[in-house]
Amino acid sequence: MAESGPAWPGGRRFAFTIVDDTDCSTLANARPVYDLLQDLGFRTTKTVWPLAPWRPTFTGGATLADPDYLRWTLSLRDAGFEIASHGATDHSSERADTVRGLDTMREVYGADPRMHITHCSQQEGLYWGAARFSGAVARLYGLLRLVGRRSWRSSGHEPESPYYWGDICAARLKYVRGFGFDSICTSGADPFMPYHDPERPAVPYWFSASNARSIPSFLALLGEANQDRLEASGGACIVYTHFALGFMKGGALEPRFRALMERLALRPGWFVPASDLLDHLAGSPGRGGALLPAQHARLQRRFLFERVAGRDNHLGDVVLRARAALRRKLAPGGARQ
Ligand SMILES: [Zn+2]
C-alpha cells in the first residue's frame, strides 16, 4: 500500500472524492446525501442528464428538464460541487442530440462539463466494452460479453457511427472514466492517471476509479481499516458509486454511511471534486502523460484479474438490470437503448 504520494495542498495527507453516477437519482433520494457531504466539508462530483428522455429509458432518474432538480444541481455547483456529464439522457443519443445535451449544460452552468462518465447502455459510449482493452484481452472480454448476452455496443469513437462524438469530446471535455479497481487507493491501483491513451485518442485524459456501485460495496470500501490504509498511503481515492442505490433507508440516510463519512471528514484529507483532484495529480511524476502500450496492458491485466477473482460487487448492476427489464415490459415495443 506504500505509495510515494504527491504533495497535497495545505499539507493534507491524502485526497478523497466521489463520482456519483446519476442512475435512478431523484431529489428525494439524492439531496439528503449531498446535504450530509456538504455539511461535512466534502466537495465531490455529481453526473447529470441534461435532456428529458424521448425513448424508453434504461434506469430512470431525474434530468435537468425537471426545474426543481435543475435548481438543486445549480445550488450544488454554487456550493463547490462539480457537475459532470452522463451523456445527453437515459438512453442512446445520436451525434446531434449529444451536442444538444452538452449545449444545454453549457447554457445552465455557464461552461462545458470537465468530466464525462459513460452510462451503461449508451451506444455513444467512448471505447467502452471490449474497446477499452487491447490484444487478446479485448477478444476475451468481447467473448465474455457475448456469453453474458449484453447486446449493446458503444461506437461514440467511430467516425462512421451515427453515435460518433469523439471529436466533440476531444474539444469540449477533459476527463473520462476508464478502468475501475477494488482498492481504496485508486492512485496506487493506477499509477499513471490521469493519462492520455494514444490508442484511444478522442478522450483527452482517462482516469480510474475505485468500485463501489451501491451501498454494500461503498460501506465495504470505506470501512475504517480502508480509511486508515488510504491515509497511510498518502494517495488519492476516487470512488465511483450510485447514490440513488440504497444510501437512503426508510426515508433517512443509511446510518453506517453517515458514520463512515463523519469519520473520514475528521481525517486530514483533501476533499475536492474529481476534476480538481486529477488536475493536481497530473503534476506528479509519472502522471499526466501519454500511456505506453505496456502500461495499458498492466492496467487491463489488473482490471481483468479483479473481475475474474469476483471481488467487484455487482449488486448495483443486478438492481439496474431488474429495473430496466421492468421498464421494457411496461413500454410495448420499447427496444433497449
Ligand atoms: Zn449510469
Query: What does the pLDDT average to over 92-120?
Result: 97
The count of domains in the chain is 1
Say if 250 falls within a structural domain: yes
Distance 118 CA to ligand 1 centre (A): 7
Query: Could you tell me the CATH number of the domain that includes residue 28?
Result: 3.20.20.370
Contact predicate 38/298, CB 8 Å: no
How far apart, in whole angstroms, are the C-alpha atoms of residue 164 and residue 146?
23
Say if 61 falls within a structural domain: yes
Distance 130 CA to ligand 1 centre (A): 18
Say if 336 falls within a structural domain: no
Say if 335 falls within a structural domain: no
Say if 311 falls within a structural domain: yes
Say if 1 falls within a structural domain: no
Pull the grid cell for residue 181: 479497481
Distance 163 CA to ligand 1 centre (A): 17
Distance 89 CA to ligand 1 centre (A): 10
Neighbours of ion ligand 1 (CB under 5 A): 21, 23, 119
pTM over 0.85: yes
Distance 125 CA to ligand 1 centre (A): 11
Distance 336 CA to ligand 1 centre (A): 14
pLDDT tens sequence across 38-61: 999 999 999 999 999 999 999 999
Distance 49 CA to ligand 1 centre (A): 10
- Mean pLDDT estimate for the chain: 90
Distance 159 CA to ligand 1 centre (A): 24
How far apart, in whole angstroms, are the C-alpha atoms of residue 57 and residue 49?
12
Distance 284 CA to ligand 1 centre (A): 30
Instruction: Report the percent of the chain where pLDDT is more than 90.
Output: 78
Distance 26 CA to ligand 1 centre (A): 14
Tell me what pLDDT residue 149 has.
55
Higher pLDDT, 306 or 171: 171
How far apart, in whole angstroms, are the C-alpha atoms of residue 201 and residue 195?
11
Domain that holds residue 204: 11-330
Assign 2 a pLDDT band (cuts: 50, 70, 90): very low
Say if 5 falls within a structural domain: no
pLDDT tens sequence across 276-304: 999 999 999 999 999 999 999 999 989 88
Say if 3 falls within a structural domain: no
Distance 134 CA to ligand 1 centre (A): 24
pLDDT tens sequence across 213-249: 999 999 999 999 999 999 999 999 999 999 999 999 8
Return the beta strands (E) in the chain as ranges.
14-20, 45-48, 82-85, 115-116, 175-181, 205-211, 236-241, 248-249, 252-253, 269-270
